[in-house]
Structures are given as structure tokens and as C-alpha cells.
Amino acid sequence: MAYTGTHYLTSRLGRRMLGVFALCAVLPVTALAVVSYRAARADLEGQARERLHDATKNLGMSMLERFLFVLEELEFAGERLDQGLPLTMVQEFPDRLVGIVHVDGERLAARVGAEFSLAGLRPVDQARLAAGLPAITFPRALESESTAAVIWYPLADGTHLVAAIEPGYGWGAGLQAVLPSNTDVIVLTPAGAPLLSTLATEYTNTLSIIGSRAAGRQFDTKILGMDYFGGRWSLPLRHNFGHPGLVLISLTEKTTAMQRAAGFGREYVLLGLTSLWIVLLLSISQIRRSLTPLDDLFAATKRISERDFTHRVQINSNDEFRELGESFNFMSSRLESQFAHLSTVAEIDRAILSSVEMDTVRTRTLGALQKTYPDLVFGVAMAGESPEEATVYVGGEMGLLHSERVIGEMEAKLAAGHGHWVVFGDPAAMPACAAPLLHHGARTVVAMPIETDGHCVAALLVGDASGAALDTDDLTQLRQVADQLGVALANATLVTELDDMKQGALLALAGAVDAKSTWTTGHSERVTSLSLRLGTYMGVSAVRLDIINRGGLLHDIGKIGVPNAVLDKPGKLTDEEYDAMKAHPVIGARIIEPIRAYADVLPIVLQHHERMDGRGYPYGIGPEEFDPNARIVAVADVFDACSSDRPYREGMPIERVMSIIREGSGSHFDAHVAEALEGLVAEDAEFFHKLHRAA
């Protein structure tokens, strides 16, 4: 029903939507207000701290400027004394100084202005004066209210001018004009003794404690139960006066500094309430104009646009909206079927492009079909070598479920389905290849033949347990899948033929090399066979086994460049002949180096005569550079060479050969490969006896 008029709040949906709108407004607005308020408060607090620190620094710099100005006036007064003029500086600058005296050792030579104490000089200050450098002292604690500081200036004749600075001038008259309002100042010596404090008298006993807490340029402290912001700055006096400096501390109450933040809090509350009322008014207006069926259809359409084709709308109104909903559901059902088929086709395409192995393509295809059509049973029938034989692969959701070999004519039974499909509903009339699907509950089997060169070489089998006729659109789509399988089968067949051709070429080349000497006939094939058995026993990957296969067949190709007289010599080789024999790995590497497809077998050809102890040839490399595949071929090469007849000796028994390999384990041979050979000999002695007889 439509929620219009004044009855929209009487429905649960209306109240729910109103509550959702309100909740969706309250939560983000409240969260935004809280986050914004905290950010503003933190920003204001940071600004207050920075202002306090900057004010403290400005106050300190103004103090230093006044101390330096008095020092310049003392220099001026000293020049006047050198000229024989009287000491009248205080009368000229009465607002800066308490008084000035001319001291000659322990004797007071002259005074202008009021009396003041000359005590407080440290040994380091006396040393500076003796060196002709000025010094500064400060009255202890807060007892002296008439003098801020005393500056000592040495004259060339060994006497000193000493000036006492007025507190109002030295500390800065009108501190509140320099610092922010409601700010107090404390001046401490490096030892923590207070020299100045604008705090009330009751805080006097806490000044040293405040100084000890003032760590860093900004800090927080508590004084008599009240929270304060603090700013700290060290007044630099060492360069001009040799004094370690004073510590300036400014304090202001947190409550006073954060008054603006409290005002922001009230503004954020008003903003949140205003936003809530606006959202409520808008939500009420929207609910009044909404209709539930239209909302459902809109939501369903949106989900379709997001490729959720399983969603169906439920409209119970007895009007056109119900018919519209049924039409929508039919449309989404067809879209679901179409997109599922497209996904299946795409997955099969990926399988075909990513692998040339028919087993992989077949398994992934059956798994994809089973997920797309869970109510059907799928299989792939592959023709055997005999027309009366076939292998049927039945699929499940995870791919291949099982395979079954059947006897029966397949091509004649499926001839009627050329380019399309054949439907078998009678079990008695079904071909033998359809029988495995009957075992999985199928009552009707549709066979889609796959042809190559005019012959049926495979078929996609579709089984239906309901016995009803399958939808023509679904069968058309499945026919496309069968055609894809035909492409994959053709590709796999082509790759197999190319692999066979490549292997045949390698065997022919290896045979040609071995045939150069009657003593090495079949050597490369035997080395390759043993290397592959060793690699399989050691669990190496299929990729490495392929490299070992090609490298084993080509490992002695360099012997093409070795004279027959050297290869067939019955006696011991001379040094020159042995050097010629040792050159065959390098010659072999040069022969196959231009062939980029065989770059991965170069290490085997080049290193199969290297040793683990670095005493092999041609380069005498160590284990770090010794290729793992070459290590396997090296052991197989020595085994066959020792067990085969040579012009200078007869083939050794297997036990003697294994003794040689055992002795060379770790030095000549890789210990792991030698150990694997031991295990392989013990496990399959018949293979080695056949290998030995072939040699």
C-alpha cells in the first residue's frame, strides 16, 4: 500500500523508515560534532600554549636587550672616566639604574645614585673580570626588591664600574602589557631559587616546586588544586656575561585560556539539533511520497545492476505491480542463466589459454559446468586408440569426480548430432559412453560430439535426472562449450605432436653424437633415463625434469668437436688429448648457445664434469655455482661411463660403480644426489641391471 496522507506513521514501515532516517542523522551529526569540537578544542589549546611560550620568549629577549643596553652605558661611562670626566651617568639615566660605583680593588673610588650591595661575585665571575670580560649577578631569592641585577664592567686600569639595575627596568615595567591577560611570571636561577614572581603571596612556597615541574618548552602543572598551562624559556646570558642564565616561566589558568572552547561546545549542540530537525522533516516528506512496491522494484533493479541476478522481488498486491514484479523476476532469471553461461565460457577460455594440458582443461570445464548447472550431470567422453574404446570423465563441483573406461562404438552412435546434439531417453538405445552418467542418476543424456578432421574424437555429455526435455537455449549454450573443448583438444593434440617432434629431434641428435664412437652408443639416452629416475626419486618439479631430459640428451653434444682418435683411443690419453677431451663441455655450450629455447639446459652441458670440491672442468667451479640439475646429470654420467665398456677397459659391476660414487660423495658428487642414487639402486635393482646390460 502507499503511505500517503496522515496515516504514514501508523504503519510499521513508516515508523521504521522514520527511525532509520533519524538514527542516520543523529549518529553522523553527533560524531561529526564531537570530532570537530575535540579538534577545535585541541587547536585552541595548542594556540594558547604557543602564545604563552612565545610571550615568555619575548619577555626574556626584552630583558636581555635591557641588560645589554646597561652594559653599553657602562662602556660609555668608562670612556668618560678615561677622558677625566665625572661619573654622572645615573643622573642622565635615572629610570634604568639604582646606582653606579667605581671600584678600585677593595676601595670605593666614586658612587653616583643610591647604595647597593656588591656581594654575590662568584670565582668564575672574578676570573672573567680579570680577563677583561663583563659579569652579572642577581640578588638571592626575593629579599631584594630594589635591585634586579648588578652588572660588573672591567676598565683598562684594573678598576671596575658596577651598575645596579632598577627592578622595574630590569624585569620589564608593565609585565601584563607584554604577556597575555591573566598570565603570571616566575624568574628562577638555574638552581631553582626564585628571583621574581607575579603570583599572589600564598603561592610563594610553591615556586621551587613549579620550577622543578617545568620540563620542556610547554608543560602542565597544578598549583593549589588549580590546573595551569606553562611556558618555559631559558634566558641566555653565558655569551655576554658568562652566567648560566635564568629560567623564565609563564603561567595561565586552563579555564581562562579555554573559554572560547566552551562557546564552541554550545554552538555544536545547536548545530546538531538543527540538523536533526531538518533531516526529520525531509524524511517525513519522503515517506509520504513512497510506495512499497516501487521501493522493492528499485532495490531489485539496483541489485541487478550490481550483477546480483539471484535476487527476486516479492510483491503481494493484487494489481499491476504484482504483474510487473513477475515480469521482472522472469527477466532476472534469464539474465542469471545468460551471465552464468558467460562466466562458464570465460573460465573455460582461461583454462584453454593458461594450460595446454587436456586434463587441466577438462577438469576445470567440468567443475565450471557443474557449478553453473547444479541440477545436471556432466561428462566428457574421449575416443580411445581403438574405435571400440572410449574413456568417460564424470565431473563434480570440484572438477573431475572419476573416470571410467567403456567398450562400445561412439562415433556411429553420435553421427546424427554432427554440429549439434543427440538426445538419448531410452537406456537401451544409449551408447556405451553414456552409461557412467546413468550411474549418477541421469535419466536423459544429451551427447554433443566434438570432431577433428571429420572424425568424432570426443563428446560433451549432459545428463538430466528429471527426464524432461532440456531448454533449447541451455543446449545451445552448452554446444558452445563443446566447441571450446574441441579447440582445447586440437591445441593439446598440436602441443603433444610438437613435443614428440622435439623429443624425436633431441633423440636423433643425441644418437648422432653417440654414434661418433662405437663405445658411446646409447650413452646419452641412458644418462637421460637415469637422470630422470633420480630427479623423480628426489621429488624435483616437472619443470626441472623437462630441463634434465633435454640437458641429458644434449650433455655430450660437444664431443662432435673431439677427434675420433681421442674418443676411441685404447690407451691413456696424452696431456694434449686430455685437454681436447676436456674442451667438449665448452664446445657443446657454444653449439646450443644461439638457441634461446635451450638456454635453460646450458648449465647441464657446461657443468656436467664439474665437482663439488672445485677440481672439475672446464672451469673448476665450487658448489655455489654448481647448477642443481647439472649435479644430477653428473652423477648419472659417471655411473653410465663406469658401467659401460670403454676401449681402455671393460664396464665395471654396479657394486664397484656405487663404491666409486660413494667415495666421491661430498667431494666429487653432490651428497644428496649420491644418497638418492643409493636409495634408487636398493629400491629398483632391476632397472639398473637393465641399464647395465644396455651399456
User: What's the whole-number mean pLDDT along residues 29-37?
Assistant: 75
Where in the chain are the domains? 1-175+257-289, 176-256, 291-354, 355-496, 515-694
Residue 233, Ramachandran bin (φ over 0: left; ψ between -120 and 50: alpha; else beta) = beta
CB 47 within 8 A of CB 260: no
End-to-end Cα distance, the chain: 93
Q: Is the pTM above the cut of 0.85?
A: no
Q: Look up residue 171 and give its amino acid.
A: W
Looking at per-residue confidence, does 38 or 122 come out higher? Answer: 122
* pLDDT at 249 > cutoff 80: yes
User: Cα separation of 236 and 296, whole Å?
Assistant: 77
| SS3 of the chain: helix, strand, coil, percent, to 5 | 55, 15, 25
* pLDDT at 614 > cutoff 60: yes
Residue 3 in grid coordinates? 503511505
Residue 302 in grid coordinates? 539496483
CB 545 within 8 A of CB 532: yes
pLDDT digits (tens, 9 = 90+) for 302-344: 777 777 767 777 777 666 667 777 777 777 777 777 676 677 6
Residue 221 in grid coordinates? 602543572
Determine whether domain 355-496 maps to CATH 3.30.450.40. yes
CA angle 567, 561, 628 (to 5 degrees): 85
Whether the domain at 176-256 and the domain at 515-694 fall into the same CATH topology: no
The pLDDT score that the predictor gives to residue 390 is 81
pLDDT digits (tens, 9 = 90+) for 549-568: 889 888 888 888 878 777 77
User: Cα separation of 660 and 417, whole Å?
Assistant: 66
Decide: helix, strand or coil at residue 472. Answer: helix
Q: Could you tell me which of 388, 383, 351 has the C-alpha nearest to residue 367?
A: 351
CB 634 within 8 A of CB 615: no
What architecture is domain 515-694? Answer: Orthogonal Bundle (1.10)
Q: Is the dihedral of CA 48, 51, 57, 61 positive or negative?
A: negative
Q: Between the CA of residue 185 and those of 195, 498, 667, what are the distances in Å?
A: 11, 94, 84
The pLDDT score that the predictor gives to residue 673 is 94
Confidence of residue 639 (pLDDT cuts 50, 70, 90): very high
User: What's the whole-number mean pLDDT along residues 107-111?
Assistant: 83
Looking at per-residue confidence, does 179 or 498 come out higher? Answer: 498
Looking at per-residue confidence, does 424 or 276 come out higher? Answer: 424
Looking at per-residue confidence, does 369 or 321 come out higher? Answer: 369
CB 451 within 8 A of CB 428: no
Structural element, H or E, at residue 452: strand 444-452
The pLDDT score that the predictor gives to residue 355 is 61
User: Cα separation of 589 and 683, whole Å?
Assistant: 35
> What is 176-256's CATH number, 3.90.350, 3.30.450, 3.30.2000, 1.10.1060?
3.30.450
